Copies of this chain bind each other. A is one copy, B any other.
Amino acid sequence: MTNGGPGDGRTTKIVECIPNVSEGRRPQLVERIADALRSVPGVRLLDYSADASHNRSVFTFAGEPDGVQAAVLALYECALPAIDLRAHSGEHPRLGAVDVVPFVPIAGVTMADCVALAKQVAAEVARRFAVPVYLYEEAAASPARTNLEDIRRGEFEGLATKMAAPEWAPDFGPATPHPSAGASVIGARMPLIAYNINLSTDRLDVAKKIAAAIRHSSGGFRYVKAAGFALKDRGIVQVSMNLTNYEKTPIFRVFDTVKREAERYGVSILESEIIGLVPAAALQACAEYYLQVAGFGARQILENRLRDAE
């Protein structure tokens, strides 16, 4: 007689959402948006920051899909009446008052779930607020709309002209920009992991060559962006990376490749750094890889069992 206890049936679903809002100079408004997000049941505000020169703020929150949808709508409710892009300036390119809204699968949800959520929220944003919406990344309706930069090119100021072209008809909502709020770009993507590897050398050329070897743009791994930098105060160099899909290009493969490439130049790895948040699954995959663990399931992690039982 063995029983897995009461948590067997259900797995907690966690979606992360990182809306970018075109307001970074009015702290009170940023706080009001943060409070609006905090007030939604089932959602946790994990981080937020505002940048005055960009005139932009970024909020990171997570929770079950229903709660995350409610939080995005609460954010629009709070932000739209207070932001007028006709009077907005800042260094960062932007198309709308609520500029970009990505949904990210963290646990118990697939990318397909996040794409469905993105479309549902896009339809609701268009309906409730009369804001045109473009779907991007994994939610994109066509390859030409996958990249955020392509959609955003021309910015708010060029939006009316851009939307007049049939190929830039929005995926949801009116065929012309919202007067003060422009348009929104809503979609789904994998979590981004900011990962740096520091090398025991001051040779910048080595860091740059390794970065070129591993990044997608110059022939490396599909989901790696990388550049080489000097950390002058420490007398070392760094391969600085964004890993954009840790399932398909896992951390351990990137680490081992950098290590091997560095050996080619007689250089060793001093240390690596994970900047900001990382999904537990990305680290667990590394433990499983190096320990050659067979047949392991996430439900064997005690904390997951506790969470899933709630």
Contact = CB atoms under 8 A, between A and B. Distances in A.
A66 B276 CA distance: 32
A303 interface: yes
A300 to B, nearest CB: 6
A47 B287 contact: no
A282 B107 CA distance: 20
A49 interface: yes
Contacts of A291: 251-252, 255, 272, 286
A50 B1 CA distance: 6
A179 interface: no
A14 B14 CA distance: 21
A292 B269 contact: yes
Interface in A22-74: 27, 30, 34, 38, 44-50, 60-63
21 contacts: A1-B49, A2-B48, A3-B47, A4-B46, A14-B302, A44-B306, A191-B302, A198-B294, A251-B287, A251-B291, A255-B291, A272-B292, A272-B294, A273-B295, A273-B296, A276-B300, A277-B302, A279-B301, A280-B301, A280-B302, A283-B288
Top 4 nearest A-B pairs by Cβ distance?
A: A271-B294, A286-B287, A283-B287, A290-B290
Interface of A: 1-7, 14, 16, 27, 30, 34, 38, 44-50, 60-63, 106-107, 191, 198, 251-252, 255, 269-274, 276-280, 283-284, 286-288, 290-296, 300-307, 309-310
